[in-house]
Amino acid sequence: MAPSIISFLAKVVVVSLLAIAIVAIGGNILVHYHQTRMMSEHSWDYSYAVSVTGLSGYRGDPITEFVVPLPAVGGSPVFSGEDLRWMTSDNCTTLPVRTENGEMLGLRLPGADLTDVSAAHSGGFLREVSREEIAASGFVPGLSRLSKAGNASPYIIVPDSLRPVSDDPEPILVSINFTISGEGRPDYHISIMERIPPGKTGIIPVEPRIYHRDSSREPFRPLEGNTLIN
């Protein structure tokens, strides 16, 4: 084989190896960039649970519906729309409810004889979240009225058709809990516990409380400026 041909083939092999090396290095750089970006944006897990108890002491319409706020980060719902239809639920149907203040979660009970209800949803999201953003979040939507903290207050809607079945009924308890956690970062827990006395219906403003912990081995403790109003 002529020396010139051998020299040409050698150059082709060298160029091919260089091309393969460049592609491999470029791929590693892209993977590293993607991983770094994901780590900088942070991955968060969340859980949301709501329950309405004490309903056995009341009757309602053939269809009775409670409406509660949705969990939020940075003023935006963590989930909405079709996600609301696929929540895990007991004794009720979950559905999105449009209000003048935005989308909320409806808990629909069939039949006039009421029983306690609950619903839950969990998932994750990828974004940068600061402690200040957590402290300014919680639940949406909010009423235009200002709370003690100076912000719009989230609220629940209790149906006007609710009627006690005895002369001395127990209060209804609405419990809403939203927890977010991320590996290597503090966990946050935002809670609403509202006792509703007999006869109180319609729009009821509520005031969430926020708690945090540095690891799952610790108990939650109140965050400074504990009252959290969205």
Q: pLDDT grade, residue 175 (50/70/90)?
A: very high
Same domain, 131 and 76: yes
pLDDT for 12: 54
Are residues 118 and 188 located together in one domain of the fold? yes
Domain extent for 12: 1-41
Antiparallel, parallel or unpaired: β 63-68 and 102-110: antiparallel
Task: Give the pLDDT mean for 179-187.
Answer: 84
Residues 210 and 116 in one domain: yes
Residues 152 and 173 in one domain: yes
Give the residue-averaged pLDDT of 72-97: 87
pLDDT at residue 31 is higher than 60: no
Is residue 29 scored above 50 in pLDDT?
Answer: no
Q: What is the pLDDT of residue 10?
A: 56
Stated pTM of the model? 0.75
The total domain count for the chain is 2
- The pLDDT value recorded for residue 53 is 97
Residue 31 sits in the same domain as residue 116: no
Flag whether pLDDT at 117 surpasses 90: yes
Higher local confidence (pLDDT), 90 or 129: 90
Asked if 189 contacts 49 with a C-beta cutoff of 8 angstroms, the reply is no
Same domain, 69 and 17: no
Nearest to 62 by CA among 153, 139, 159: 159
The answer, yes or no, to whether residue 41 has pLDDT greater than 60, is: no
State how far the Cα of 169 lies from the Cα of 106, in Å rounded to an integer: 24
Q: Are 123 and 216 in a shared domain? A: yes
Rounded Cα–Cα distance for residues 108 and 19 (Å): 62
